[in-house]
Amino acid sequence: MQHKSGGVHTLSRNLPSIAATVALCFSASVFAQSTPLAPREVPAKTIPVPNTVSPELQQIIAQPLRNGWNSQPTTPEGWKQLAESIRVAAVPNVEAMRARLKVKVEPGVMAGVKIYTVTPEKIRPQNKNRTLLQVHGGCYVLNPAEAALPEAMLIAAIGGYKVIAVDYRMPPEAYFPAALDDVMSVYKELISKSNPKRIGLIGTSAGGALVLEMGLRAKQLGLPLPGAIASGTPMSDSTKAGDTFYTNAMLDSVLVSTDGFCDSAAAFYANGHDLKDPLISPIYGDMSGFPPTILTSGTRDLLLSNTVRVHRKLRNLGIDSFLQVYEGQSHAQYGRDERIPENREAFTEISTFLNSHLKK
């Protein structure tokens, strides 16, 4: 390297004590060798509601942590009762949302699996031959029946798609891999009638993991892959690995912490099966050959790490994958309510992505 002449080296005799470490910020650093890996001690903090989001989202961010976030059922019947009570509580909200979005929701059965067919007022012309298969979240245990519908309704209305929302079996009725078997049954039925490249998969949280698991399972079974995947803040790693499980703990108002219900629910679903199985924690699977995949998360999301890890994994395989991260949002909040501008934005982005990758 040729050095510039006229430097003011004489100043270096007065190195402030902070200089050497500041220098590390922007220049090459030296690896510490064989030191124990010290954790970061972060003091208690008071975090204001950001003014960098819409007023509507500010209201959501200002809500307290989910009440009772660290108490959870301890028996199969307790989980079932919780899921059912959630369904009952969700019904009026889901119906109000359905009315606002002007979508039609028809229950049915496909390939022996309970589904809802969700159709918008108007299917967009380019989507005439396309279908989305939607897989709901809820940590593999929650959100049965109507409670599963918000995401399907949002993408149907905002994207102008026909959507098949799968009401897959859950514990204690059926354990791993029942949920995956059910969504695969519906997928097989859809691809038997349509070019798979016209089929898109969409899901959030456990649903975000399941759509990735579907890709892995399709490869195992030698089935063609879908045309595109939209995986929202996926439970891609149920082993509690992922930095934001800890950095965003007590900040994410939805999942709150790994001590919350979601990890317990995933273990309940796994029913003793290895949580590192790629069909439960898809981050550990071989995603080569996956179709274009869009990923969605928020800066306060407990699963931000598990979202960006999937993004990097796909990109390192050369797969067209797009990441969107929303300011201030906790886990899966973007799928709650279309009256929040950022949520419409998220589904518009998902719709744009699917539209540019699904075969017409």
According to the binding rule CB under 8 A, does residue 311 interact with its own copies? yes
Site for its own copies in 248-267 (CB under 8 A): 248-251, 253-255, 261
CB nearer its own copies, residue 164 or residue 304: 304
According to the binding rule CB under 8 A, does residue 109 interact with its own copies? no
C-alpha of 203 from chain center: 7
According to the binding rule CB under 8 A, does residue 44 interact with its own copies? yes
**Pairing state of beta strands 113-119 and 104-110?**
antiparallel
| Through-space distance between the first and last CA atoms of the chain, rounded to whole angstroms | 55
Q: How far is the CB of 93 from its own copies (least distance, A)?
A: 4
Half-sphere exposure for 120 (CA within 13 Å, toward CB): 22
DSSP label of 148: G
According to the binding rule CB under 8 A, does residue 21 interact with its own copies? yes
Site for its own copies in 163-202 (CB under 8 A): none
- Tell which one of 97, 165, 180, 191 touches its own copies (CB under 8 A): 97
Site string for its own copies, 268-307 (x = CB under 8 A): -------------------------------xx---xx--
According to the binding rule CB under 8 A, does residue 17 interact with its own copies? yes
Q: How far is the CB of 220 from its own copies (least distance, A)?
A: 25
Q: How far is the CB of 112 from its own copies (least distance, A)?
A: 16
According to the binding rule CB under 8 A, does residue 143 interact with its own copies? yes
* CB neighbours of residue 339 within 10 Å: 11
Q: Kindly indicate which of the ranges 82-90, 172-180, 214-222, 284-292 contains the residues binding its own copies, using the contact rule CB under 8 A.
A: 82-90
| Residues in binding contact with its own copies, number by CB under 8 A | 137
d(CA 93, CA 110): 26
* Phi, then psi, of 281 in degrees rounded to 5: -125, 85
According to the binding rule CB under 8 A, does residue 95 interact with its own copies? yes
CB nearer its own copies, residue 18 or residue 221: 18
CB nearer its own copies, residue 213 or residue 237: 237
d(CA 255, CA 304): 12
- Tell which one of 74, 75, 102, 107 touches its own copies (CB under 8 A): 107
Cα distances from 327 to residues 49, 52, 77, 297, 350, in angstroms, run 11, 8, 38, 9, 17
d(CA 152, CA 154): 6
d(CA 54, CA 56): 5
Q: How far is the CB of 346 from its own copies (least distance, A)?
A: 9
Site for its own copies in 199-228 (CB under 8 A): 205
Contact 62, 51 (CB under 8 A): no
**How are strands ordered across the β-sheet holding 131-135?**
104-110, 113-119, 163-166, 131-135, 199-204, 228-232, 293-298, 321-326
CB nearer its own copies, residue 171 or residue 217: 171
- Tell which one of 74, 75, 88, 288 touches its own copies (CB under 8 A): 88
Q: Which of 214, 147, 156 is nearest to 185 (CA)?
A: 214
Contact 96, 149 (CB under 8 A): no
- Tell which one of 52, 192, 221, 272 touches its own copies (CB under 8 A): 52
Q: How far is the CB of 209 from its own copies (least distance, A)?
A: 14
- Tell which one of 220, 243, 359, 360 touches its own copies (CB under 8 A): 243
